[in-house]
Amino acid sequence: MEEAKRILYGRRRGRKLRGGQRELLDDVVPGLDIALDEAARPVAPETLFDRPVREVWLEVGFGAGEHLLTQAAANRDVGLIGCEPYVTGVVRMVRGLVDARLDNVRLWRDDARLLIDGLAEASLSRVFVLFPDPWPKTRHHKRRFLSRPVVERLAAVMRDDAELRIATDDSGYLVWILDRLRRSGSFRWTARTASDWRSRPSDWPATRYELKAIEEGRRCAYLRYRRLPRDRQGA
């Protein structure tokens, strides 16, 4: 049975921030933070940006932000929400935003599940969950982000035909992910051949973690799913 408790596992803080990083955290990050008003839920994510955006994408656990920044720069008409509680990763990503003068990113620095629960249904056009912690020990499987309740909630907030991209370098977690997505009945795996999930697509920027995994000899899987139209769900 999968645990439904809302406990955020993992690090929030690392080494002490340097002066410039502290300034970013104090002066820039608050202007990017998303604040969800309980009374105003559900929230239409496009309203979280200062200018009109064509659609909204969500990245859960962006690490140091390599993927998020590249996507934001390549898709300036798209609003991106990045979820990451680790402060050092946040300030590294925000430094990249400032340097590139990007204005289409907003931050959620708490449990991503809380944000997802607050969003309007059928409001996201793409979701990225790249190399989530596999929590390999059996007793820790309840900590895995891609649980059945989260997959169900993602299906609710994603538009019909929206894309869900997932990457992992852990074979056990790969099996877990494939099982949860298959059981949901809301997603269609787009892979037709093995190369479709063994090779990263050209519009899928690499992350620092991924490059490290490859350097250490671990094989990565790149999964792409489409949210089934609601009138075809479970077909």
Q: 37 an active-site residue? A: no
Measured at the CA of 127, the angle between CA 118 and CA 109, to 5 degrees, comes to 55
Selecting among 133, 170, 179, 231, the annotated active-site residue is 133
Mean pLDDT by 10 residues, the chain (235 residues): 49 59 79 84 94 98 95 98 93 93 96 96 98 92 94 98 98 96 96 95 93 95 97 69
pLDDT for 6 equals 52
Q: Which string of DSSP letters, residue by residue, matches 158-214? A: EEEEEEEEEEES-HHHHHHHHHHHHHHSSEEE---STHHHHS--TTS---HHHHHHH
pLDDT for 72 equals 98
List the domain boundaries for the chain: 19-232
CATH of domain 19-232: 3.40.50.150
pTM score, two decimals?
Answer: 0.90
pLDDT for 3 equals 46
pLDDT for 4 equals 44
